[in-house]
Amino acid sequence: MNICIIAGSPRLNGNTTELCKPFVDELRLHQAEVEYITLSGKNISQCLGCFRCQNVADTYGCILLDDMQSIIEKILWADVVVFATPIYTWQVTAPMKAVMDRMFGLNKFYGTASRTVLNQGQAYALIATCGYDPAYGADLLDEAMRRWCAHSELQYLGMYAVRDEDNLASFQTPEAVSGARDFAQVILKYTK
């Protein structure tokens, strides 16, 4: 299984990275191929809303040439894409939002290209860290991902979210670690 994890935290050694460690370890323990992409330091422009990608069949088609091109290659390689992000104001970080918006070119729904989903059969999942109880702090992001997957005809495998109550220590507790490993098992059970 090929799994692409897109990490949206601006801090390379922050809470979200800490929560991802046991998750990635569990995936690799079961021979999953994991590509871990950190967005910090990447050059990812915001979507221009020009719709040119919608008029290019069978390829991504974005006219912006930046780090998103290589990220798209890894996304298309994957069976599962996991978006790992801290939640700021009930939403993903700015670099993660730019990536998500730029993924618009994977769905050919709005232009002259024949209707297709370039990553058909793929599944998405979320890992989130937040300052509130996840039922309140991560619910909007969870719902947004559900809608995105339904619209794009992709399977949503769910979200694993942990509250930050004590900085890194919150994500090193036995409960947080076992929860991350258990969520990896959910991902490993997905088959196209």
The CA–CA distances, whole Å, from 170 to 12, 68, 85, 165, 182 equal 17, 32, 15, 6, 17
- Residue 133, token pair as written in the block: 């109880």
Q: Are 120 and 69 in contact (CB under 8 A)?
A: no
CATH number assigned to the domain covering 2-188 = 3.40.50.360
Per-residue pLDDT, 192: 65
Q: Tell if the pTM clears 0.85, that is, is over it.
A: yes
Angle at 137 between CA 131 and CA 139, to 5 degrees: 155
What is the mean predicted confidence (pLDDT) over 116-124? 97
Decide the pairing of beta strands 33-38 and 116-117: unpaired
Segment 14-22 mean pLDDT: 97
pLDDT in tens, 26-61: 999 999 999 999 999 999 999 999 999 999 999 999
pLDDT score for 44: 98
Mean local confidence (pLDDT), 145-166: 97
DSSP state letters, 105-170: GGEE-SSSSPSEETTTT-EEEEEEEESS-HHHHTHHHHHHHHHHHHHHT-EEEEEEEEE-SBTBGG
Average pLDDT over residues 80-87: 98
pLDDT digits (tens, 9 = 90+) for 127-139: 999 999 999 999 9
pLDDT band at 11 (very low <50, low <70, confident <90, very high): very high
Identify residue 151 by its one-letter amino acid code: H
Residue 95 has pLDDT above 80, yes or no: yes
| Average pLDDT along the chain | 97
The pLDDT value given to residue 145: 98
* Per-residue model confidence (pLDDT) at position 191: 78
pLDDT reported for residue 56: 96
Tokens of 87: 């939640």
Span 165-183, average pLDDT: 97
At residue 115, does pLDDT exceed 80?
A: yes
